[in-house]
A and B are shown apart, each in its own frame.
Chain A
Amino acid sequence: MMRSSKYILIGILFGITMFKSEAVSWFRIYEMFNFQSFHMYGIIFSAIAIGIPVIQWIKRTHMKSTEGTEIQITDKDKHAPRYIYGGIIFGLGWALAGVCPGPMFIVLGSGYTVLVVFLLSAITGTFIYGLIRKYLPH
C-alpha cells in the first residue's frame, strides 16, 4: 500500500505542476508551436538543464535506487528513422489534440469526461501501431 501511494503522490504532483503551469492547455501548445512565448520552452529547457547534471550525478556515483539496486538509465537505440517518423506523427497529434499523454490524464481528472475518448483513441493508436509495426521502417 505504501509502495502504491508513492507513485500516486508523484502523479498528483505531476498533475498539479502541469495544470498550474498551463502546460495542459491546448492554447499553450498552439502558442508554443507558433513560437509566441518562452513559457513552454522554459518548462522543457529548465527541466532538461536540471535533468542533465542530475543524471550525470546518478551515473557517476552509481547511485542506488530505494530497491537497493544501482539505478539503470537505459540507452536508447541510435537508429534514426523510427524517432523521426514516429516523432512527426506524434507532433502532428500533439499540436492537433493540444495534449500529450500526461495532460490527457490530468485534464480528464479536472472534470472533462470527453477525455476518455482521447484516451481510447490514443490506446487504439498504440494498438494499431503494434499490429503494423513490422511493416514500418524503424
Chain B
Amino acid sequence: MAPQFILDSIAFISQPWPWWVAGPMVALIMFLLLKLGKEFGISANFRTMCAADGAGDYSDFFKFDWQSQGWNLLVALGAVFGGYVTSTYFAGADGNIAHVSSATVESLRGLGMNYEEGAVPLIPPFYSWESLFTLPGFMVIVVGGFLVGFGARYAGGCTSGHAISGMSALQIGSLYAVIGFFAGGMLMTYVLFPLIF
C-alpha cells in the first residue's frame, strides 16, 4: 500500500482542473521550452514527420534539417505518455466525463446527441474504429484531421504556436490566425454540423 500522502496527491491531481490552473501551466510549458532555447508549437511535428519520411523529394518545403526538430518530436511523445499517465493513474472518480455547461447539453440534443447533464463523455463515441466507416466518423477523423494538418501549416502554426506563443509575443500575424481559427470554427459549428451529424 502506498503511503497516504501519495494517495492524497493522486486524488488531488485527479480532480478536474479549473482553467486558472491549466492556463498558467500552459504558460509555464511555453517558458520552459523558451528557456531550453525552443519555441512551443506542436503542429511543426507534422512537417518534420513528412520530411523524415522523405517528402523532401516532392517539395522544397520539406527540405530542411529535420533532425534539429527532434526535441519537438520528444515533446509530442511526452504528450502521448501524458495521455497514458492521466487515463491510467489520474482518471479520478468521474473518469471519462466532460463537465460541459447545461446550454451545451441542450445544443448537443439539437445535433441528435442525447446526453444527460453530467454524463457527457470526455471522448466522444465517434472516436472509434467502427465509426471511421460512418459519415460523421469519417468526417471527424479523416476530413477533420486533414484540415487541421493542412490549415496549421498554411497558417504557420496551430493553437500552441499562434494562440499561445504568438499572442504572448504580441505578433499581429498570430492575431489574424486566431481570428481565422474562430471564423472557421464557428462556420463549422453553426452551419456545417447540422449537415454532418
Binding site for B on A (CB under 8 A): 4, 6-34, 36-52, 54-55, 58, 63, 65-67, 69, 71-80, 82-102, 104-115, 117-131, 133, 136
Given A37-B101, A113-B129, are A15 and B80 neighbors across the interface (CB < 8 Å)?
Answer: yes
Max chain B Cβ within 10 angstroms of own Cβ: one of A58, A78, A97 = A97
A-B contacts, CB under 8 A, total: 493
Contact assessment for A46 and B27 in the assembled complex, using a CB-CB cutoff below 8 Å: yes
Bits for B156-168, please: 1 = Cβ < 8 Å to A, else 0: 1011101111111
For A101, what are the chain B residues with a Cβ–Cβ distance below 8 Å? 42-43, 45-46, 148-149, 152, 158-160
Contact assessment for A111 and B84 in the assembled complex, using a CB-CB cutoff below 8 Å: yes
Contact of A89 among B20, B55, B151, B167 (CB under 8 A): B151
Q: Show 19 residue pairs from A and B whose CB-CB distance is below 8 angstroms, ordered by the A residue.
A: A10-B33, A11-B80, A16-B86, A19-B90, A29-B185, A42-B20, A43-B26, A44-B23, A48-B163, A50-B24, A73-B39, A87-B155, A91-B186, A109-B80, A118-B144, A119-B145, A121-B149, A123-B46, A131-B59
Besides A13-B82, A93-B149, A111-B83, 8 other A-B contacts (C-beta < 8 A): A18-B82, A24-B83, A29-B185, A55-B170, A79-B173, A83-B173, A91-B151, A130-B47
Contact of B127 among A28, A54, A102, A107 (CB under 8 A): A107
For A129, what are the chain B residues with a Cβ–Cβ distance below 8 Å? 61, 149-150, 153-154
Task: Tell whether B76 is near chain A: CB-to-CB under 8 Å.
Answer: yes
Contact assessment for A22 and B189 in the assembled complex, using a CB-CB cutoff below 8 Å: no
Given A87-B155, A92-B187, are A71 and B35 neighbors across the interface (CB < 8 Å)?
Answer: yes
Contact assessment for B59 and A130 in the assembled complex, using a CB-CB cutoff below 8 Å: yes
Contact assessment for B122 and A22 in the assembled complex, using a CB-CB cutoff below 8 Å: yes
Contact assessment for B78 and A15 in the assembled complex, using a CB-CB cutoff below 8 Å: yes
For B165, what are the chain A residues with a Cβ–Cβ distance below 8 Å? 51
Contact assessment for A4 and B74 in the assembled complex, using a CB-CB cutoff below 8 Å: yes
Contact assessment for A14 and B78 in the assembled complex, using a CB-CB cutoff below 8 Å: yes
